[in-house]
């Protein structure tokens, strides 16, 4: 498994300094970031050089930048989406970055058309040395690795793949066979949390407010990690536990709890 990183949403309201310090203090190798977090840091008086210096001093790398929506669209929506892509690419040029996340959407057009649009994002990202990964979301048409894998496979770009999110994998209908068919080289990033199969409220409410720390839910995360390892996946692993109780804690404590739980299930998965 690759380096551990602290996903942006895990400490959503943290300042840039708090985010970097929380990651470094808990032992993460990297962080995720969004343009909103970058703009807040600039508004708070940090220069680009300041932010690069803080990352370097902490020994923390910016790994994940997200996210782009509407990449599957045409016309005016596609134009806006591509303009926003450039915002994320500029952020990577400024602070570094390994991959950009695309959220999933409807499947109303042929997969060949979606694959062509995805390939376009990959080609534009390649100019900045970035990988592009679609994150399947259970409430969209691109809800599992089968659908998203078809798009990625037809696009056939060396820097294109998927985000394998444990929550969405278990809630969206993905299967081990879909993961095996996808292939390890197409998994750009792994995101880890736990939860329960039966939703409480809507899918969105559960997704954003009721995830569990790895190993604290009913998904069998240690077994999931054994599956991932058996397939040969080797990519950065992000901790992304979206839970109200964790958001109420200081960022450093939330990051520490996420790291502790992740190390426990990693050890169990290798046992």
pLDDT number for residue 199 = 87
Q: Are 174 and 144 in contact (CB under 8 A)?
A: yes
Domain residue ranges of the chain, discontinuous segments joined by +? 4-270
pLDDT number for residue 203 = 87
* CA distance linking residue 34 with residue 1, whole number of Å: 24
- Examine the pLDDT at 115 and tell me if it is beyond 90: yes
pLDDT single digits (tens) 6-51: 999 999 999 999 999 999 999 999 999 999 999 999 999 999 999 9
* CA distance linking residue 107 with residue 146, whole number of Å: 13
pLDDT single digits (tens) 146-167: 999 999 999 999 999 999 999 9
- Of 3.20.20.150, 3.40.1260.10, 1.10.10.10, 3.40.309.10, which CATH number belongs to 4-270? 3.20.20.150
pLDDT number for residue 268 = 87
Q: Which are the contacts of 267, defined by CB distance < 8 A and separation ≥ 6? A: none
- Examine the pLDDT at 269 and tell me if it is beyond 70: no
pLDDT average, residue stretch 204-225: 96
């Amino acid at each position: 498994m690759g380096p551990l990183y602290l996903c942006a949403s895990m400490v959503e309201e943290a300042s840039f300094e708090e985010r970097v310090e929380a990651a470094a203090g808990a032992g993460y190798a990297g962080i995720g970031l969004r343009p909103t977090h970058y703009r807040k840091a600039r508004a708070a008086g940090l220069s680009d050089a300041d932010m690069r210096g803080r990352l370097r001093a902490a020994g923390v790398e910016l790994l994940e930048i997200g996210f782009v929506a509407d990449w599957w669209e045409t016309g005016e929506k596609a134009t806006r989406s591509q303009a926003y892509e450039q915002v994320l690419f500029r952020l990577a040029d400024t602070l570094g970055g390994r991959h950009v996340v695309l959220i999933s959407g409807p499947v109303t057009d042929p997969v060949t058309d979606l694959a062509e649009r995805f390939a376009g994002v990959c080609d534009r990202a390649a100019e900045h040395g970035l990988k592009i990964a679609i994150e399947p979301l259970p409430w969209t048409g691109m809800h599992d690795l089968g659908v998203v894998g078809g798009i990625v496979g037809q696009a056939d770009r060396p820097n294109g793949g998927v985000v394998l999110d444990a929550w969405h994998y278990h809630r969206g209908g993905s299967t081990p066979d879909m993961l095996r068919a996808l292939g390890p080289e197409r998994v750009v990033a792994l995101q880890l949390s736990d939860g329960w199969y039966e939703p409480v409220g809507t899918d969105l409410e559960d997704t954003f407010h009721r995830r569990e720390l790895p190993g604290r839910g009913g998904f069998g995360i240690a077994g999931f990690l054994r599956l991932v390892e058996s397939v040969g996946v080797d990519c950065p692993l992000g901790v992304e536990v979206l839970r109200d109780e964790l958001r109420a804690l200081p960022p450093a404590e939330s990051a520490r709890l996420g790291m502790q739980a992740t190390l426990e299930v990693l050890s169990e998965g290798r046992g």
